[in-house]
């Protein structure tokens, strides 16, 4: 059994990056399509209590969500949703990807949330107990990427946010997206990945770059140094297949986040399609 639980990491700077982009992506897709089908392949538990023992133990949210909240730095769309969960003004609850999707989608849209961990799935069921029409399934999220594609409406988004606890998940993610893309080349896929010393994300991006998948826009926020000692993640990355906006929209959003980080951070936004393959390493 895998041990990753997102409550230890909820609201960290990567969540701010990931969830800010998710909000804008869902809004843009909603504006373009009267009906959407959304799949969240690694849904987590829906909402995270930042006062919990687990969140307090790592306190990762202090250099992410809390810093942005206290300095009024969250982009407007995400701020509005987070405010709804924290009406008193103090930041206690951080909404995760599945809850954000639930809040943004309309009654006619379809949301499917996959979570494999039994404990997390039980929490997700509780969080979504009053959410009619949201389909919750306890199974493998990687396989669901292919099974879901294409949805009957052919308009929608797949949110892929694995824990990458197993190193092969980087390539597995790219392979599943490629297989899904072959069935649904207009599908929009959001893939989150961490930037770690081991550089697992290079395998993910290289695999995608060498595949037939086209129109992949990447947003990365890189820190000059870790927020706290022993913190292994120095950056957060998101690859979007078939983004609904031109590159400057994602550039502005990524800069907004990098500029407001508590420590020096850089933003990088680029088309994966234009990245050269290094002939010596065979990677991007
Ligand atoms: C990074 S967290 C997701 C956080 C969530 N997207 C959010 O924003 O709140 C990864 C989640 O994937 C779950 N998980 C791990 N392996 C899985 C698999 N093969 N299929 C589905 N879920 C999995 C973990 O239990 C964990 O809840």
Average pLDDT in the chain: 96
pLDDT of residue 228: 74
161 is a catalytic site residue:
yes
**Backbone dihedral angles phi then psi of residue 10, each to the nearest 5 degrees:** -55, 135
User: Which pLDDT score, from 0 to 100, does residue 227 have?
Assistant: 75
What structural domains does the chain harbor?
6-274 (3.40.50.150)
List Cβ neighbours of 248 (8 Å cut-off, separation of 6 or more). none
Nearest alpha carbon, ligand 1 atom 1: 163
At 271 the pLDDT is 98
Phi, psi of 32 (to 5 degrees): -90, -20
- Range list of H helices, the chain: 13-32, 53-58, 65-70, 76-85, 97-104, 118-127, 141-148, 169-183, 200-210, 247-259
pLDDT of 100 above 70: yes
Distance CA 61, CA 244 (A): 29
115 Cβ inside 6 Å of ligand 1? yes
Q: Does the beta carbon of 123 lie inside 6 Å of ligand 1?
A: no
Helix (H, G, I), strand (E, B) or coil at 10: coil
**50-98 confidence digits (pLDDT tens):** 999 999 999 999 999 999 999 999 999 999 999 999 999 999 999 999 9
Structure tokens at 13: 């700077």
Q: State residue 3's pLDDT score.
A: 86
SS3 of 76-106: HHHHHHHHHHCCCCCCCEEECHHHHHHHHCC
**CA end-to-end distance (rounded Å), the chain:** 33
C-alpha 44 – ligand 1 centre gap (Å): 5
Q: What is the pLDDT of residue 241?
A: 98
Higher-pLDDT residue of 229, 101: 101
Whether cis (ω within 30° of 0) applies to the bond prior to 150 is yes
| 276 token code pair | 């050269």
Confidence (pTM): 0.98
Question: Ligand 1 centroid to 114 CA: how many Å?
Answer: 8
Per-residue pLDDT at 25: 98
Q: Could you write out the DSSP letters of every residue in 26-85?
A: HHHHHHH-SS-EEEESS-TTSEEETTSHHHHHH-GGGGTHHHHHHTT-S-HHHHHHHHHH
The pLDDT assigned to 1 comes to: 58
Check if 120 has its Cβ closer than 6 Å to any atom of ligand 1.
yes
Contact (CB, 8 A) for 250 and 238: no
Percent of the chain with pLDDT over 70: 99
pLDDT of res. 231: 79
**What is the rounded distance in angstroms from the CA atom of residue 275 to the CA atom of residue 277?**
7
pLDDT band at 130 (very low <50, low <70, confident <90, very high): very high
Cα(280) to ligand 1 centroid in Å equals 35
What is the model's pLDDT at position 230?
Answer: 74
pLDDT tens sequence across 150-165: 999 899 999 999 999 9
Q: Which of 15, 40, 109, 161 is catalytic?
A: 161
Identify whether the C-beta of residue 112 lies closer than 8 Å to the C-beta of residue 36. Answer: no
279 by Cβ neighbours in 10 Å (0-12 / 13-18 / 19+) ranks as: exposed
Report whether pLDDT(226) > 80.
Answer: no
* Sign of the four-CA dihedral 91, 97, 99, 102: positive
Q: Is the CB of 1 under 6 A from ligand 1?
A: no
Q: Among 126, 128, 96, 113, which Cα is nearest to 37's?
A: 113
- Give the pLDDT mean for 227-255: 93
- The residue-averaged pLDDT of 101-128 equals 97
User: Is the confidence at residue 245, as pLDDT, over 70?
Assistant: yes
Cα 25 from chain centre: 11
């Amino acid at each position: 059994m895998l041990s990753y639980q997102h409550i230890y990491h909820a609201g960290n700077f990567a969540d701010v990056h990931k969830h800010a982009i998710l909000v804008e992506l869902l809004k843009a897709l909603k504006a373009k399509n009267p009906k959407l089908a959304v799949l969240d392949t690694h849904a987590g538990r829906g909402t995270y209590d930042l006062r919990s023992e687990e969140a307090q133990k790592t306190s990762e949210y202090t250099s992410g969500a809390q810093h942005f909240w206290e300095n009024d730095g969250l982009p407007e769309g995400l701020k509005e949703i987070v405010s709804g969960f924290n009406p008193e003004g103090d930041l206690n609850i951080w909404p995760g990807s599945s809850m954000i999707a639930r809040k943004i989608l309309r009654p006619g849209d379809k949301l499917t949330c996959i979570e494999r961990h039994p404990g997390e799935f039980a929490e997700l069921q509780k969080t979504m107990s009053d959410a009619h029409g949201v389909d919750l399934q306890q199974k493998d999220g990687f396989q669901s990427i292919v099974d879901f594609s294409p949805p009957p409406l052919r308009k929608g988004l797949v949110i892929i946010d694995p824990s990458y606890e197993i190193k092969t998940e980087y390539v597995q993610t790219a392979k599943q997206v490629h297989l899904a893309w072959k069935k649904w080349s207009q599908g929009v896929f959001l893939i989150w990945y961490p930037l770690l010393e081991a550089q697992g994300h290079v395998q993910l991006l290289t695999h995608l770059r060498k595949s037939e998948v086209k129109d992949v826009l990447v947003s990365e926020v890189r820190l000059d140094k870790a927020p706290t000692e022993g913190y292994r993640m120095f950056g957060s990355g998101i690859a979007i297949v078939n983004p609904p906006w031109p590159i400057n929209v994602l550039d502005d959003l990524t800069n907004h986040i990098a500029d407001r980080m508590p420590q020096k951070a850089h933003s990088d936004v680029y088309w994966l399609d234009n990245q050269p393959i290094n002939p010596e390493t065979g990677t991007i």
